Structure 1
Amino acid sequence: MKNLSIFKYMLVSAIAIGTLSSCESSSSYEDITPSIANIAVTNPAFSTLESAAVAGGVAGVLSNSNPNDPSGDYTVFAPTNDAFARLGLNSETLGALQKSFLTNTLLYHVSNGNLLGADISEDVSSTSALGIDRRFVSRDGDTYINGSKILATDISASNGTVHVIDKVMIASGADIVQTALALQSAQVFTAPELTYLVEAVVYTDLVGALSASPGSPSFTVFAPTDQAFVDLGAALGLTFTKPSDIRQLPVDVVTAVLLNHVIANDGRFTSELNQGAVTPLGGDALTLGAFTDGLLTVTGAGNGADAANMVIPDVQTTNGIVHVIDRVLLPNL
């Protein structure tokens, strides 16, 4: 974990410049230590986070002390501009997200109190401001929170501490099916997504199985985008223009395909997945590619050399982890 990094260097530089240009001087450290919100303002690496905090209505919260903790502090895991860009988001495109989802996503990066880098380890739990726990993972000498690598730690703010991460963390607060329904009904993005997947789950009567309670075995689910299903239809010589077109395929075939996307392995973030074969509920092994830049490809036994890429990785649900992918994973049909 890199306690001294370019992010901290840029922060210190920004503070110094602001102090030198001020008409007033002060010898007090607190006078020149910015709030968490001001860190985003003064550091160009966090300009998208700054815009998101304003749009999501949390900028004011992170400008002040924490009334819900005796220390008055927050701990924030702050995604960089590059982290937002991995989801196709920047300051101009944040409007693609519903405001309520954006707000909850930001709060998922926040926790009460002051968790310093030295206290972060795999045996420490961290509860977000949403009340949802996040877990730390050690891999190849790096530390991750869920599937996001911690790039820098211990950037001090007047109201807490900031740690820098390389991917935006997402939690739905619902089970796998309800999470897919939220995407389908445009409660996450302003445009619907996973509409074909939801239709397929209903068609095959798998709603109950994928709505298992948190106490039941949890899953890792690879969730194909709508375009992935449209591409599948074209490959099969069919035309999919609406979700119900998936019913052109026999129900047993669609069932076999869906089960090929579900692994009963307690739900794994990208940081916990390894290259090699894994066995889904459908029985035909999937092949995971190398862990590269925090992502893995995945290939079905019936996909040949055509691997699926992760579009939205590491979505935490109440009964598993969902990775949205750009290709349908085919078993040997």
Structure 2
Amino acid sequence: MINKNILSKMLLAVVATFTLVSCETESNYEEEVPSIANIAVSNAGFSVLEAAAVQGGVAVVLSNNNPNDASGDYTVFAPTNDAFARLGLNEETLGVLQTPFLTNTLLYHVSNGNLLGNAIYGGGSSTSVLGLDRRFIERGNDTFINGSKILATNINASNGTVHVIDKVMIATGVDIVQSAIALQSSQVFTSPELSFLVEAVIYADLAGALTASAGSPSFTVFAPTDQAFKDLGTALGLTFTVPADIRQLPKDLVATVLLNHVIGNNGKFTSELNAGTVTPLGGEDLTLGAFTNGTLTVTGAGNAQAANMVIPDVQTTNGIVHVIDRVLLPNLN
């Protein structure tokens, strides 16, 4: 279960301030427990979560009792400031996210009722208020929800329970192709991303294979950023300025390269991946690096350098997407 030795001094300080005590009389003290929203407001380690809750319109929700559960409670998996920083986000940069996406992301961290730490174990799951499931994974002495490590549990609030996690959880609610299109069409970030990947998938006629349908397989997909494709163009002696420039390459080559990013393994979070080789649909093994600070590097057979995960653990309806900073190449000789 949870390894208590992982708690930092900062988190201990946070936990220590979660109970507010007021004096009724000189001899009679009554504990006044803050709401979930007030926990974020009163602790500097959750200042980005506080700002996100205000921007996303959920601060009021988490200040009050839950009308959709008989207990009146919520359970919240709360990302720390460091968790947001992994995505390059702080109080000032939250504006790069579209508000509807931010709202849904925050609600993905919330469940109805009280889920206490003794009910969090590997192989279990929990459903968010959006109706999307998150799964619990044990890795060594640590417990994860999806790809996010649980740092502390059972922080009591007047309207539920808070558990602390080290990464922001992301779920799109749509399949892999539609998730990439959401990024490409600025539904997630205010600036487009994965535009080259979407163009490549369409050009190579692979959209159908990666679109969810009844009984369709579930994949792990390594999704290169726009800059990763631009860097590939430079390496090939080409100029990739706009997504359509990917069509300078033969269609069958683009298809081969794209399939080198897709693994038919039922969709794995970083917490479920291990160092070693995995075989993509393209056929040539990819090499995963050591699991370090919640991510792994990945290298194609034709890469001189490993790709890093920029945005890991994006849950879709037919797999898990890890956004990476390099195109994974097979041997092209």
TM-score (norm 2): 0.95
The secondary structure found in structure 2 opposite 1:210 is coil
Aligned partners of 1:53, 1:132: CA distance in 2, in Å?
19
Aligned partners of 1:73, 1:8: CA distance in 2, in Å?
24
**Counterpart of 1:10?**
14
Letter in 2 for 1:70: A
Aligned partners of 1:72, 1:61: CA distance in 2, in Å?
12
Q: Deviation per CA, 1:197-222, whole angstroms, max 9, x where unpaired?
A: 00000000000000032632100000
Q: Does 1:28 align with 2:30?
A: yes
Moved beyond 4 Å, runs of 4+:
2-6, 22-26
The residue correspondences of 1:19-168 to structure 2 (distance < 5 A) are: 19=22, 27-29=29-31, 32-168=32-168
Q: Deviation per CA, 1:165-215, whole angstroms, max 9, x where unpaired?
A: 000000000000000000000000000000000000000000000003263
Aligned partners of 1:23, 1:270: CA distance in 2, in Å?
52
The secondary structure found in structure 2 opposite 1:211 is coil
Q: What's the CA shift for 1:13?
A: 3.2
Give 5+ residue unaligned stretches, structure 2.
none
**Counterpart of 1:322?**
321
Letter in 2 for 1:237: G
Q: What's the CA shift for 1:28?
A: 2.9
Deviating more after overlay: 5-14 vs 49-58: 5-14
Letter in 2 for 1:311: V
Asked if the contact 1:19–1:25 (Cα under 8 Å) also holds between the matched residues in 2, the reply is: no
Aligned partners of 2:189, 2:85: CA distance in 1, in Å?
15
Letter in 2 for 1:62: L
Closer, same or farther in 2 for the Cα pair 1:278/1:25, shift >3 Å?
farther
Letter in 1 for 2:211: S
Number of residue-to-residue matches in the alignment: 328
Asked if the contact 1:214–1:318 (Cα under 8 Å) also holds between the matched residues in 2, the reply is: no
**Counterpart of 1:312?**
311
**Counterpart of 1:212?**
212
Letter in 1 for 2:276: G
Q: What's the CA shift for 1:297?
A: 0.1
Give 5+ residue unaligned stretches, structure 1.
none
Aligned partners of 1:131, 1:297: CA distance in 2, in Å?
31
**Counterpart of 1:230?**
230
Q: Does 1:187 align with 2:177?
A: no
Aligned partners of 1:259, 1:24: CA distance in 2, in Å?
71
Letter in 2 for 1:64: N
The residue correspondences of 1:163-174 to structure 2 (distance < 5 A) are: 163-174=163-174
Q: Deviation per CA, 1:141-170, whole angstroms, max 9, x where unpaired?
A: 100000000000000000000000000000
Q: Deviation per CA, 1:230-261, whole angstroms, max 9, x where unpaired?
A: 00000000001000000000001101000000
Aligned partners of 1:201, 1:25: CA distance in 2, in Å?
70
Closer, same or farther in 2 for the Cα pair 1:24/1:199, shift >3 Å?
farther
**Counterpart of 1:263?**
263
Percent of pairs with identical residues: 73
Q: What's the CA shift for 1:2?
A: 4.7
Q: What's the CA shift for 1:307?
A: 0.2
Asked if the contact 2:256–2:282 (Cα under 8 Å) also holds between the matched residues in 1, the reply is: yes
Asked if the contact 1:11–1:39 (Cα under 8 Å) also holds between the matched residues in 2, the reply is: no
Letter in 2 for 1:113: G
Aligned partners of 1:245, 1:187: CA distance in 2, in Å?
23
Closer, same or farther in 2 for the Cα pair 1:233/1:10, shift >3 Å?
same
Q: What's the CA shift for 1:26?
A: 7.2
Closer, same or farther in 2 for the Cα pair 1:209/1:40, shift >3 Å?
same
Closer, same or farther in 2 for the Cα pair 1:2/1:27, shift >3 Å?
farther
Root-mean-square deviation (Å):
1.8
Aligned partners of 2:19, 2:214: CA distance in 1, in Å?
45
Q: What's the CA shift for 1:112?
A: 0.4
Asked if the contact 1:8–1:155 (Cα under 8 Å) also holds between the matched residues in 2, the reply is: no
Aligned partners of 1:8, 1:104: CA distance in 2, in Å?
29
Aligned partners of 1:57, 1:297: CA distance in 2, in Å?
35
Aligned partners of 1:12, 1:278: CA distance in 2, in Å?
44
Aligned partners of 1:63, 1:290: CA distance in 2, in Å?
41
